[in-house]
């Protein structure tokens, strides 16, 4: 994160563009600032519920189904947005009661680097597909051992965070209401970004390498809404596979997984196991429930926060929505 002074200087430069006569929009409505993690999470939740048809432009619930939360995983951070279960009732404002937690430093790249750094005995080789080059060594593809290693690290980090009384959120510190939403039937979730990239990689690998395996059949039938048990089984199968095939396929865009380039291909086994620990052990999703849908878009639109930001801004400004405008 850039220092506040640097951010202010950058935004000041951007805002000056609105002062130019050639600026095509109303400068009084031009806003340029850094978005907080909480805002980003709230807006992503609003985007999801709007695109799926749970709420209208005015943020009011249609009462047409359970509210939808959002799970996001990037390279440096992870985030969960949990709407109020009350939003299932028609007329309730979806922006009220949304709990958002952003955990900086718990992205899949950052955690992998931490595990690699702290595994002096190279125990983390279990987290890479068989034959994956890892700093002059080779991956062993033992997913259960990998998950145990990752879980242990995350528990240590969470305990340290709580002991230090950190002002930042400590991983997994969900409110009782959020835990109820995760573990009960009142809220379903969409998993986007890195979560879908990784889950879809497992689908791609299994459909090519083990299409007749019972684990693959069960997973493909359930995807994009598998149980964590089904997801775990296909991840175990994938991690046991030889990395050489993945490496060869990734050389050509026509044969590579659509969301995986050479810079990420060696790490998909680790990322998949981290995803499982995050969903099951940290957030508390049931292993046999179908609570999470892996997707990047809905109704032909990306499940990203900008649309939610627009809807939220319009609703707060109490601007009327013109029919057919969006």
Per-residue pLDDT of 254-274, as tens digits, reads 999 999 999 999 999 999 999
The tens digit of pLDDT for each residue in 64-76 reads 999 999 999 999 8
Q: What is the pLDDT of residues 197-228, one digit of tens each?
A: 999 999 999 999 999 999 999 999 999 999 99
Domain ranges of the chain: 1-34, 35-317
pLDDT value for 318: 63
Half-sphere exposure of 123 (CA within 13 A, CB side): 15
CATH of 35-317, one of 3.40.50.720, 3.40.50.2020, 2.60.120.10, 3.30.420.150: 3.30.420.150
Prediction pTM value: 0.91
Rg of the chain taking only CA atoms, in angstroms: 21
Cβ neighbours, 10 Å, residue 60:
16
Cβ pair 257, 250 in contact under 8 A:
yes
Answer positive or negative: Cα dihedral of 184, 187, 188, 189: negative
**Cβ(101)–Cβ(182) under 8 Å?**
no
Output the DSSP codes for 262-294.
Answer: TTTGGGHHHHHHHHHHIIIIIS---TT---EEE
Mean residue pLDDT of the chain comes to: 92
In the beta sheet, which residues pair with residue 193? Answer: 73
Q: What is the pLDDT along the chain (326 residues), one digit of tens a residue?
A: 678 889 888 988 888 888 887 888 888 878 888 888 889 999 999 999 999 999 999 999 999 999 999 999 999 899 999 999 999 999 999 999 999 999 988 999 999 999 999 987 899 999 999 999 999 999 999 999 999 999 999 999 888 888 888 788 888 888 889 999 999 888 999 999 999 999 999 999 999 999 999 999 999 999 999 999 999 999 999 999 999 999 999 999 999 999 999 999 999 999 999 999 999 999 999 999 999 999 999 999 999 999 999 999 988 876 554 433 33
Tokens of 233: 């089984």
For residues 62 and 266, what is the distance between their CA atoms, to the nearest angstrom? 44
| Residues found in the chain | 326
Residues 6+ apart with CB under 8 A from 230: 215, 218, 219, 222
């Amino acid at each position: 994160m850039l220092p506040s002074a640097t951010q202010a200087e950058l935004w000041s430069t951007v805002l000056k563009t609105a002062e130019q006569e050639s600026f095509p929009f109303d400068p009084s409505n031009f806003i340029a600032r850094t978005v907080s993690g909480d805002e980003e999470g709230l807006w992503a939740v609003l985007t999801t519920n709007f695109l799926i048809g749970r709420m209208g432009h005015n943020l009011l619930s249609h009462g047409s189904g359970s509210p939808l939360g959002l799970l996001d995983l990037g390279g440096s951070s992870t985030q969960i947005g949990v709407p109020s279960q009350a939003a299932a009732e028609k007329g309730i404002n979806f922006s009220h009661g949304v709990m958002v937690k952003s955990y900086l430093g718990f992205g899949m790249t950052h955690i992998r680097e931490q595990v690699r750094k702290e595994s002096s005995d190279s125990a983390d080789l279990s987290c890479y597909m068989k034959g994956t080059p890892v700093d002059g060594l080779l991956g062993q593809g033992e997913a259960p051992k990998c998950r145990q290693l990752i879980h242990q690290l995350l528990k240590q980090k969470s305990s340290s965070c709580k002991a230090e009384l950190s002002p930042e959120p400590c991983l997994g510190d969900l409110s009782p209401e959020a835990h109820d939403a995760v573990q009960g039937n009142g809220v379903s979730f969409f998993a986007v970004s890195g979560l879908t990239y990784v889950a879809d990689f497992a689908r791609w690998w299994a459909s090519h390498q083990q299409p007749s395996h019972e684990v693959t059949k069960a997973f493909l039938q359930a995807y994009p809404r598998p149980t964590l048990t089904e997801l775990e089984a296909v991840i175990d199968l994938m991690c046991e596979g030889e990395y050489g095939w993945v490496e060869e396929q990734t050389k050509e865009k026509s044969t590579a997984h659509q969301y995986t380039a050479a810079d990420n291909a060696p790490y998909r086994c680790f990322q998949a196991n981290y995803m499982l620990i995050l969903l099951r052990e940290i957030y508390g999703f049931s292993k046999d429930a179908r609570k999470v849908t892996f997707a990047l878009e809905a109704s032909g639109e990306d499940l990203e926060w900008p649309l939610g930001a627009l809807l939220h801004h319009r609703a707060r400004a109490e601007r009327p929505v013109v029919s057919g405008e969006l």
